[in-house]
Structure 1
């Protein structure tokens, strides 16, 4: 088990050193260094998290909340630095999803063989 944890720590370090993570950090730093962009991004994240929390709790999301979220998304997508941050985040998420598929392959093969 310790060997797996060590390898996971090495993977974490490799992720931190990857171009995708460095590009994401640079985009994040650009947004955080611009007070208006930072506020806009934080408002977006707060709205996103609130809607996710309500959804996970099985609570209804009102049309008003959906419309407000849609407007916030439109606004942040028009901001060049935030749009770049979201693009870089998606690139890193794609890498993480690929890694996750590789890591879970033994389980998929095991349970897939049982069918």
Structure 2
């Protein structure tokens, strides 16, 4: 059993999964309407700006957060955008679950042994 062979099998299984197929269909539908695409891109841009600021330890303006929340409420009422966000979430959830399974199997790789082992 070669890890690379299994990786190719996993990649093929992912590409054939219902989650990925649904994601691709929802993405295609979203991209047909430039207005929907721009709305979603604006939401994601603002959401990312908040996340980056938080990761950098910067204080995020409460008004910015409220604007993003209101924008989410608006775009989630759009059936095409909502379908895309749902499909995106389901596929990313599956990918995270698979990553966790892999991480658990090789958990020793993530653990640092006694620091003295690395000094010499």
| TM score, norm. by length of structure 2 | 0.80
Question: Is there any run of 5+ residues in structure 2 with no aligned partner, and where?
Answer: 111-120
- Any residues of structure 2 matched to 1:69-80 within 5 Å, and which? 69-80=68-79
Mapped partners of 1:6, 1:105: distance in 2? 20
C-alpha displacement of 1:92? 1.1
Q: Deviations over 1:63-99 (max 9, x none)?
A: 1111111111111111100101111112112211221
Displacement of 1:46 in angstroms is 0.6
> Secondary structure at the residue paired with 2:60?
coil
Moved more, 61-70 or 12-21: 12-21
User: How many corresponding residue pairs?
Assistant: 111
Q: Counterpart of 1:20?
A: 19
Q: What residue in structure 2 maps to residue 103 of structure 1? A: 102
RMSD of aligned alpha carbons = 2.3
Unaligned ranges ≥5, structure 1: none
* Structure 1 segments (4+ residues) deviating >6 Å: none
